[in-house]
Amino acid sequence: MLSGFVLALSAPRTAHTAPASRAVGLPEPDPSSPPILVNISKLPKTVEVNITAAVATLSMQPGALSEVFAYNGSVPGPTLDVREGDHVIVHFRNNLPEPTTIHWHGIHLPFEADGSPFQPIAPGKTHDYEFTVRAGTAGTYWYHPHPDRRTGFAIGKGLFGGIVVHAADDPLPSMDEKLIILSDNRFLQDGSIGFAEAASFTGGVDEENGREGPVLFVNGHVMPTVSIRNGEVQRWRLVNASAGRIYRIALSGHTFLHVGSDGGLFEKPLEVKEILLTTGERVELLVRGTGAAGTRIVLQDLPYDRYAPQTRPADWQTTRDLLTLQTTGEAVVNPITIPATLRKITPLDPSKSTAVRTIVFGQGIINGKTMDMSRVDVSTRVGATEIWEIENIVGMDHPFHLHGFQFQVLDRDGVPEPYRAWKDMLNIPKHSTARIIVRYDDYPGKWMFHCHILDHEDHGMMGVLEVR
Ligand SMILES: [Cu+2]
């Protein structure tokens, strides 16, 4: 029995959400996947959806109710499910008591649709986001608020949802897919979500580490069970929606195929035992069911030391369980063939680079400064290719995020990246340097780059890239 995520009391389920499985006659949708936003458009290649952000009261844990911020009444919000080439129109209403935005994390789109701190939506106001999903960008993304200085609070209150962009021509065989959104949270005795006073000791630790909570959620469920048949292969898309927690993902003793990252599939699948999933980052995995009926395998978060010694949590070496994968009693599934080559990723050419940017991550600062929205930190032109050398000079990890453009990693501490991938998130471990290459295709604007530990971002660990 799954620990259900029950909608309760004052939050009626809105008309905008629908079960993940939309066909008539199918069994109840798998509660381990969020609902999907209903497309209200009748036009071809158009996805038109309604999203409202509002206060809701939900049961996040058994026996307790929590006041949350929710997209269309659920945490996580319903998934934006689109195809390459689709034109997306989002009718957004802010029914929150504070300004907000929706940032379409990782999607290559016009500046006007970015939902950055430059584009706040006041309480009670509506806004239409509009963009076209570009060819070649199939992958897993997510959406969340990105208001000035309040991102950690708004996401911690429950505002996050997944985005799946399907390929026009997907190289992987058709199989059951799961969207697995990871988050953690902290609750007070009365069930309310706990945020520490900034001036308190805990507030200081949160500001340093990024706010963590002891309760780990998979799509709003605590330790749900996912079913799989013996021999079946499932495609899992993982999203890290936590404010500060970096997950070291493993499937208790089993390997899985790592097939993709932030911006979609790799060129080749990689068989691995574990994956580091930094804040804001996504991965695609292929998981295979093995063993007799009733066999249980646990998806775990292994210990990972991202912390500065002075604020490292006492229990940081704890292995945490995320979900159970249980083999059903159904007949064994015949093996399917996973192609050895998934797609071609054209490398960005370092010899075309017209600038090398040096980005130094200090504690809460970038290049010695905190965020100033009236300042431009990096100025460049549409179409330019540049190398960014991102150096972390302090004793804790800082995950780098760039808005608007996917990049490729050239090397980490001088070691060439072993495989190509499109990325918008990159963990920069303590006292290390990574070099990335990026081309500013298509869209001028003022784009944010920042640390994706939300407490760091909110305290100004962010800069402005102006593309003209
Ligand atoms: Cu940081």
Mean pLDDT by 10 residues, the chain (468 residues): 23 31 38 89 98 96 93 97 98 98 98 98 98 97 98 98 97 96 97 96 97 97 94 97 98 94 98 98 96 94 97 97 95 91 98 98 97 98 98 98 98 97 98 98 98 98 98
Q: How far is the CA of 461 from the centre of ligand 1 (A)?
A: 7
How far apart are alpha carbons 278 and 298 in whole angstroms?
Answer: 20
Q: How far is the CA of 398 from the centre of ligand 1 (A)?
A: 4
Cα angle 165, 299, 211; round to 5: 80
> What pLDDT, on a 0 to 100 scale, did the predictor assign at position 285?
97
Ligand 1 ion: Cβ-proximal residues, 5 Å cutoff = 398, 451, 453, 456
Q: How far is the CA of 353 from the centre of ligand 1 (A)?
A: 27
Q: How far is the CA of 395 from the centre of ligand 1 (A)?
A: 11
**Cβ atoms within 10 A of the Cβ of 89, count?**
18
Q: How far is the CA of 290 from the centre of ligand 1 (A)?
A: 39
Q: How far is the CA of 5 from the centre of ligand 1 (A)?
A: 31
pLDDT in tens, 236-260: 999 999 999 999 999 988 999 999 9
152/202 same-domain check: no
Q: How far is the CA of 274 from the centre of ligand 1 (A)?
A: 23
pLDDT in tens, 153-186: 999 999 999 999 999 999 999 999 999 999 999 9
How far apart are alpha carbons 324 and 18 in whole angstroms?
Answer: 25
* Residue at 118 is within a domain: yes
Q: How far is the CA of 455 from the centre of ligand 1 (A)?
A: 8
Last residue of a domain, one of 292, 327, 362: 327
- Residue 220's SS3 state is coil
> What pLDDT, on a 0 to 100 scale, did the predictor assign at position 66?
97
> What pLDDT, on a 0 to 100 scale, did the predictor assign at position 30?
52
Q: How far is the CA of 111 from the centre of ligand 1 (A)?
A: 24
160/184 same-domain check: no
Q: Is 95 left (phi over 0), alpha (psi -120 to 50) or beta?
A: alpha
**Cβ atoms within 10 A of the Cβ of 110, count?**
15
What does the DSSP assignment read for 325-348?
A: EEE-SSPPPPP-PPPS-----PPP
Range of the domain at 289: 177-327
Residue 201: its H or E element: helix 201-209
284/381 same-domain check: no
Q: How far is the CA of 242 from the centre of ligand 1 (A)?
A: 13
Q: How far is the CA of 261 from the centre of ligand 1 (A)?
A: 21
The answer to whether residues 407 and 350 touch, using CB atoms and an 8 Å cutoff, is no
161/201 same-domain check: no
* Residue at 30 is within a domain: no
Q: How far is the CA of 165 from the centre of ligand 1 (A)?
A: 28
* Residue at 341 is within a domain: no
How far apart are alpha carbons 385 and 347 in whole angstroms?
Answer: 12
- Residue 204's SS3 state is helix
What does the DSSP assignment read for 48-115?
A: EEEEEEEEEEEEEETTEEEEEEEETTBSSEEEEEEETT-EEEEEEEEESSS-B--EEET----GGGS-
Q: How far is the CA of 11 from the centre of ligand 1 (A)?
A: 35
The answer to whether residues 219 and 180 touch, using CB atoms and an 8 Å cutoff, is yes
* Residue at 218 is within a domain: yes
Q: How far is the CA of 259 from the centre of ligand 1 (A)?
A: 27
Radius of gyration of the chain (CA): 21
* Residue at 212 is within a domain: yes
How far apart are alpha carbons 34 and 178 in whole angstroms?
Answer: 9
Q: How far is the CA of 404 from the centre of ligand 1 (A)?
A: 20
How far apart are alpha carbons 160 and 143 in whole angstroms?
Answer: 6
Count up the domains in the chain and report the number: 3
How far apart are alpha carbons 377 and 119 in whole angstroms?
Answer: 19
> What pLDDT, on a 0 to 100 scale, did the predictor assign at position 20?
33
122/203 same-domain check: no
Q: How far is the CA of 273 from the centre of ligand 1 (A)?
A: 27
Alpha carbon 172 to chain centroid, angstroms: 22
129/185 same-domain check: no
392/254 same-domain check: no
* Residue at 135 is within a domain: yes
298/400 same-domain check: no
149/195 same-domain check: no
Q: How far is the CA of 453 from the centre of ligand 1 (A)?
A: 5
* Residue at 391 is within a domain: yes
What does the DSSP assignment read for 120-183?
A: -B-TT-EEEEEEEPPTT--EEEEEE---TTTHHHHHHTT--EEEEEE-SS-SSPP--EEEEEEE
φ and ψ at 151, to 5 degrees? Answer: -65, -45
The CATH number for 444's domain is: 2.60.40.420
Q: Which residues pair with 182 in a beta bridge?
A: 218, 240
Give the whole-number percent of the chain exceeding pLDDT 90.
90
211/275 same-domain check: yes
What is the identity of the amino acid at 291?
G
Q: For residue 122, with 0-12 CB atoms within 10 Å meaning exposed, 13-18 middle and 19 or more buried, which class applies?
A: exposed
Q: How far is the CA of 227 from the centre of ligand 1 (A)?
A: 37
The answer to whether residues 377 and 388 touch, using CB atoms and an 8 Å cutoff, is no
How far apart are alpha carbons 217 and 262 in whole angstroms?
Answer: 21
Q: For residue 334, with 0-12 CB atoms within 10 Å meaning exposed, 13-18 middle and 19 or more buried, which class applies?
A: exposed
138/228 same-domain check: no
Alpha carbon 350 to chain centroid, angstroms: 28
65/99 same-domain check: yes
> What pLDDT, on a 0 to 100 scale, did the predictor assign at position 22?
29
* Distant-in-sequence, close-in-space partners of 24: CB < 8 Å, separation ≥ 6: none
* Residue at 12 is within a domain: no
